Amino acid sequence: MTSEANSQEPVLDDRAQRISSVVHDLRHCLHVLRMGLTLLKSNRIKEDEFLEICGTMEGEERRAAELVEELVAFARGQK
């Protein structure tokens, strides 16, 4: 390998690790949303639980949107 190729390896490795971390976080958001939907569809929850689940899902949706924006920035080479 050339010294130029060696110098790029850590950059690519760091980038791959960051992307992997973002994807992991995004999967977590999707899991929380899926679980929330399952609970809401069960029709066995009280109103206060319903509101709490909706609040959690809203927060996860916002986080997922941020993560998607991060992935788009990676794809464009901005990060």
Mean pLDDT of the chain: 88
pLDDT at residue 41 above 90?
yes
2: pLDDT strictly greater than 70 = no
For the cut 70, the answer to whether the pLDDT of residue 7 exceeds it is: no
Structure tokens that stand for 47 in this block: 């109103």
Which residue ranges make up each domain of the chain? 3-75
Query: Is 3-75 assigned to CATH 1.10.540?
Result: no
Query: What's the pLDDT at 5?
Result: 52
Structure tokens of 70?
């991060």
> How far is it, in rounded angstroms, from Cα 14 to Cα 20?
10
**At 9, is the pLDDT very low, low, confident or very high (cuts 50, 70, 90)?**
low
**Rounded distance, CA 26 to CA 23, Å?**
5
More confident residue, 15 or 54: 54
Say whether pLDDT at 35 is over 60: yes
